[in-house]
């Protein structure tokens, strides 16, 4: 169960502009009255009735809170400050980072230099390593869930653990569906998921950072899924003309259909394209 704060959220925080929204969550900037510190308040709508399709079931919210509390303080993972329940929502008070999404940073630049891309991936891998050491898979890794600490600095934080799961050997997880472009073949085929499912997404993110193109994106979601299960992608577009063979080798050792053959997070951190020169 979640240990909520007793006092109402609104009595302890001033709430400001909305900074993001998702299917069942809205994120707003807020300030803690006592400390004047700024945070991100993530309002997660609670599912009232089990058969309803609106809102998030309490056990799923409890999972996200447990994951955040387990991961605790890591320089590449957003930290959880407090949790409230105001009846309709569970409110997660999360560390606020100012730089916004890595995604915006790329789209401004179209694509990044290999040094920049390698540095971002190194940090994302540090955060994923902390998760995998705790047997937690993110299962929704994508550039929108990677935030920059500040615009010009390269320090990143992983956010949004709404789909992440503790992959114990007890229960098999098959029912996760992240964002089509980034999901691994085992997700499309509803096969058991594993930590290597995140490593596939690492390959997709690296491909996008270096080329500005998305490797499996089709005109429809079904076409995207077909491209993924066929592992149908190429480097021979003009986007990759200047990219090193080392970078392509890194990506091709992650975008493998057999999850057991993909680089683990430790092997990725030791790959010459990532390991600090």
Residues acting as catalytic residues: 140
CB of 212 to ligand BD4, least distance (A): 19
Q: Does 20 bind ligand BD4 (CB under 6 A)?
A: yes
Of 63, 85, 259, 80, residue with least CA distance to 163: 63
One residue of 85, 114, 144, 191 binding ligand BD4 per CB under 6 A: 144
Residue from 13, 28, 30, 40 touching ligand BD4 (CB under 6 A): that is 40
Q: 87: alpha, beta or left, given left = phi > 0 and alpha = psi -120 to 50?
A: left
The residue (of 28 and 122) whose beta carbon lies closer to ligand BD4 is 28
Interface segment toward ligand BD4; rule CB under 6 A; list 92-100, 170-178, 219-227, 235-243 = 92-100
Contact by Cβ (8 Å): 85, 121: no
> Rounded to whole angstroms, how far apart are CA atoms 77 and 159?
7
Q: How far apart are CA 77 and CA 86, in angstroms?
A: 26
Is there binding between residue 91 and ligand BD4 (CB under 6 A)? no
Span near ligand BD4 by CB under 6 A; candidates 83-91, 98-106, 118-126, 184-192: 98-106
The conformation of residue 14, written as its DSSP 8-state character, comes to E
Nearest approach in angstroms of CB 164 to ligand BD4 is 13
Tell the smallest beta-carbon distance from residue 148 to ligand BD4 (Å): 8
- Shortest distance in whole angstroms from residue 248 CB to ligand BD4: 28
- Selected from 91, 96, 139, 255, the binder of ligand BD4 by CB under 6 A is 96
Residues 6+ apart with CB under 8 A from 92: 41, 42, 44, 64, 65, 68, 80, 83
Binding string, residues 43-82; x marks residues near ligand BD4 by CB under 6 A: -----------------------------------x----
Q: For residue 120, which of 230, 12, 210 has the smallest C-alpha distance?
A: 210
Under rule CB under 6 A, residue 141 binds ligand BD4: no
How far apart, in whole angstroms, are the C-alpha atoms of residue 217 and residue 156? 25
Query: Does 153 engage in binding with ligand BD4 (CB under 6 A)?
Result: no
Site pattern 221..250 for ligand BD4 (x: CB under 6 A): ------------------------------
Nearest-CB residue to ligand BD4?
Answer: 20
Q: Which residues contact 227 (CB under 8 A, 6 or more apart)?
A: 215, 216, 217, 218, 233
Binding flag, residue 159, ligand BD4 (CB under 6 A):
yes
What are the percentages of helix, strand and coil residues in the chain, rounded to 5? 35, 20, 45
Cβ 224 vs Cβ 215: under 8 Å = no
Q: Give the residue from 176, 100, 99, 111 showing the smallest Cα distance to 137.
A: 176
| Interaction site with ligand BD4 (CB under 6 A) | 19-20, 27, 40, 42, 78, 94-98, 100-101, 144, 147, 159-160
């Amino acid at each position: 169960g979640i240990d909520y704060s007793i006092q109402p959220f609104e009595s302890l925080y001033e709430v400001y502009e909305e900074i993001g929204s998702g299917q069942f969550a809205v994120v707003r900037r807020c300030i803690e009255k006592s400390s004047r510190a700024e945070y991100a308040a993530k309002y997660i709508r609670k599912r009232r009735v089990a058969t309803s399709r609106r809102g998030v079931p309490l056990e799923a919210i409890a999972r996200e809170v447990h994951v955040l509390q387990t991961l605790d303080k890591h320089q590449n993972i957003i930290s959880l400050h407090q949790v409230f329940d105001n009846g309709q929502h569970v409110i997660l008070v999360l560390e606020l980072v100012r730089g916004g999404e890595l995604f915006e940073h790329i789209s401004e630049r179209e694509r990044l230099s290999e040094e920049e891309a390698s540095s971002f991936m190194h940090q994302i891998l540090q955060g994923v390593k902390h998760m995998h050491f705790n047997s937690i898979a993110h299962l929704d890794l994508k550039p929108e869930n990677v935030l920059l600490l500040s615009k010009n600095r390269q320090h990143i934080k992983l956010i949004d653990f709404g789909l992440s799961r503790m992959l114990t050997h007890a229960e098999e997880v098959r029912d996760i569906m992240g964002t089509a472009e980034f999901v691994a073949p085992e997700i499309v085929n509803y096969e058991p998921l594993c930590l290597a499912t995140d490593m596939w997404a690492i390959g997709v993110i690296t491909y996008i950072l270096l080329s500005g193109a998305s490797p499996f994106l089709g005109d429809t979601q079904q076409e995207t899924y077909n491209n993924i299960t066929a592992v149908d992608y190429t480097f021979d577009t003009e986007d990759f003309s200047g990219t090193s063979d080392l970078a392509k080798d890194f990506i091709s050792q992650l975008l493998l259909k057999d999850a057991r053959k993909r680089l683990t997070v430790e092997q990725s951190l030791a790959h010459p394209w990532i390991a600090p020169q």
